[in-house]
């Protein structure tokens, strides 16, 4: 019915510890314990003009964080792609959303040692109904709007229900981006 959303032999972009590109490796090699390959991931928050985040429920068939809610969309950067290209592709693959790459705003770049991830985090303005989203690849099965307060309360009351969250620092970055968007439109 669905294509395999996490193909084990998919070739992913890899890096040395300083962030220099090295030869790509298969997903199954990258995730083999103990972790030895730094690799790239992208995160994209869909945020509406009122400051709500489109959160999604991961399929119960996924190997990582099955049947858990997350605050962003995204995934691994395939070999040969940039972070931004991966962000655009992930939105189309996971939720059938074709976006204007020029409206994708980079809000954070970093390195996460425990997972050996180099990451770029983006925000995309989205004021449409979540009903337009199409869950084509079987990775995501549902999406709902959450305000930051609703998310924080639900995460606090149901911590086992959530993965791939939105830290207070990231919430502040999203709020600053939203404020800047409103200020630009007011000019």
> Could you report the per-residue pLDDT of 65-118, keeping only the tens digit for each?
999 999 999 999 999 999 999 999 999 999 999 999 999 999 999 999 999 999
Helix 148-157 to helix 168-186 angle (10° resolution) is 170
Tracing tokens 């630009």 back to the chain, one arrives at 184
Global pTM reads: 0.90
Band the pLDDT of 182: cuts 50, 70, 90. Answer: confident
Q: Is residue 8 a contact partner of residue 111, using CB atoms and an 8 Å limit?
A: no
Band the pLDDT of 5: cuts 50, 70, 90. Answer: low
**pLDDT at residue 1, rounded to an integer:** 36
């Amino acid at each position: 019915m669905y294509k395999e959303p996490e193909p084990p032999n998919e070739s992913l972009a890899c890096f040395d510890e300083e962030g220099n590109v090295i030869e790509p490796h298969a997903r199954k090699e990258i995730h083999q314990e103990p972790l030895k390959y730094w690799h790239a991931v992208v995160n994209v928050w869909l945020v509406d003009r009122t400051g709500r985040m489109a959160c999604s429920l991961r399929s119960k068939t996924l190997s990582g964080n099955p049947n858990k809610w997350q605050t962003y969309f995204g995934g691994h950067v395939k070999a040969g792609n940039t972070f931004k290209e991966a962000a655009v592709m992930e939105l189309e693959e996971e939720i059938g959303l074709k976006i204007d790459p020029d409206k994708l705003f980079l809000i954070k770049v970093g390195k996460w040692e425990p997972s050996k991830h180099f990451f770029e985090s983006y925000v995309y303005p989205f004021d449409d109904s979540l009903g337009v989203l199409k869950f084509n690849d079987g990775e995501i099965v549902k999406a709902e709007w959450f305000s930051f307060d609703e998310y924080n309360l639900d995460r606090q009351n149901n911590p086992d229900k959530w993965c791939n969250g939105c830290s207070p620092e990231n919430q502040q970055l999203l709020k600053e981006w939203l404020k800047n968007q409103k200020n630009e439109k007011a000019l």
